[in-house]
Structure 1
């Protein structure tokens, strides 16, 4: 089975039809219930229930004359999707350039549903390297991805930190108070270095990437085996990462 295509049995039909309805409204603004029913060959009562649900959540809005357009929530989703697509497009060549300079794995990560999510990466050809995977998630409190947590507004940051911090190695921070001290230190330094917090054999360094409005939208990262990463390597990584982050930020309009 193709990994990118879910099995038919795993698809929720009502959700599938709801997406058809939303896409039809997106393609045909000011369409009527009858227009949508003809377009996707579904019954009006079923489509109406979906439209009312999406209207309640702001995905569509109904005009006085009974036609439908996308709502404000859809605009938020579209803007976020556009930003992330642009982010990957801008970041990919910069990640490759950075990875070739250090001959190590580089990644771009964002916050998604309370975790860090890899959305772009480069891996060198050497046999012994850190393996990365687009779509792989990691907790925010462990590893150098804490840099994403460090730049959140205080109230949002407090909500993102779980009550119990999972321990991966003896070096993982499991105290909320200690984590908050570390996040302040990261903000002051402008980068995060992690040695053995997620894996004993791993060293990683991350630097924030800024969106057009100056907010932190992502983190660019170098991950390498601990045995070949010395102090002078870390300092070089920080310098190169900050340069790469500036280039990505500039490509996003910062």
Structure 2
């Protein structure tokens, strides 16, 4: 990015370094320097400054992860920026356009958790429950798994991928290929993986720094969901997710 006269470059770089640590737990000095195209001595100064203020901490293995001070910031951010409050009107607008069920899901360890929903008034619709959990490797929840660092993916994918339906992916190699496809195309389409007659489309919601903080999805009965419907869902979801992401400070 071009330099601006009203920006303190060292502070700007320190924030970028902090975001790198936030995206990649246990990231090493050399990896940060390579990712940012900076010298290791300069990045080390930034890391030591952030460590002094407890924004990051050095691990016994020599990597870096977020420090305790970030918890204070996170609590304050939760109070000041309520994801559900921000997403609710956008989800309602999206739901009225597609006339299908909308969900907002976040990652909670190796599961996705529904934190908000919209359901249309039509009789035959997909019913969902706020608080319902799904494994990350199944259905549209895969979009939350696809954008994680490979090391964290490896930790979160269980050795045994238990099937929910006969269409659930239970082969690890196939799952990794699917995650790569999701990451490249920017959305996930799931057919019958968590419900035999269920079809869903999911896209990532981004936050400051480019990290994926949630998944926004449309869920519909499979019998009335054809390819033109899926294409329309992808476009409308992308627009809605962009609005939520911008509300969270993402400017990518």
Distance 2:79 2:97 in 1: 29
Report the CA distance shift for 1:82/1:150 in structure 2 as closer, same or farther (over 3 A). Answer: farther
What is the number of equivalent residue pairs in this alignment?
184
Distance 2:202 2:70 in 1: 32
Partner of 2:102: 106
How far did 1:113 drift? 2.5
Equivalent residue runs for 1:1-254 within 5 Å: 72=69, 74-75=71-72, 78-79=75-76, 81-82=78-79, 86-254=82-250
How far did 1:212 drift? 1.6
Partner of 2:121: helix, strand, or coil?
coil
Q: Normalising by the residue count of structure 2, what TM-score does the alignment of the two structures yield? A: 0.70
Partner of 2:4: none
Partner of 1:108: helix, strand, or coil?
strand
Native 8 Å contact 1:86 1:252 kept in 2:
no
Distance 1:228 1:240 in 2: 17
Report the CA distance shift for 1:82/1:153 in structure 2 as closer, same or farther (over 3 A). Answer: farther
Report the CA distance shift for 1:136/1:173 in structure 2 as closer, same or farther (over 3 A). Answer: same
Distance 2:176 2:76 in 1: 31
Partner of 1:145: helix, strand, or coil?
helix
How far did 1:74 drift? 4.6
Q: Normalising by the residue count of structure 1, what TM-score does the alignment of the two structures yield? A: 0.69
Distance 1:155 1:76 in 2: 26
How far did 1:73 drift? 6.9
Q: CA-atom RMSD, angstroms?
A: 1.7
How far did 1:76 drift? 5.8
Q: Which runs of 5+ in 1 are unaligned?
A: 1-57, 59-70
Native 8 Å contact 2:109 2:156 kept in 1:
no
Which runs of structure 1 show a deviation greater than 2 angstroms over 4 or more consecutive aligned residues? 71-74, 79-83
Partner of 1:144: helix, strand, or coil?
helix
How far did 1:79 drift? 4.8
Partner of 2:140: helix, strand, or coil?
coil
Q: Which runs of 5+ in 2 are unaligned?
A: 1-53, 55-67
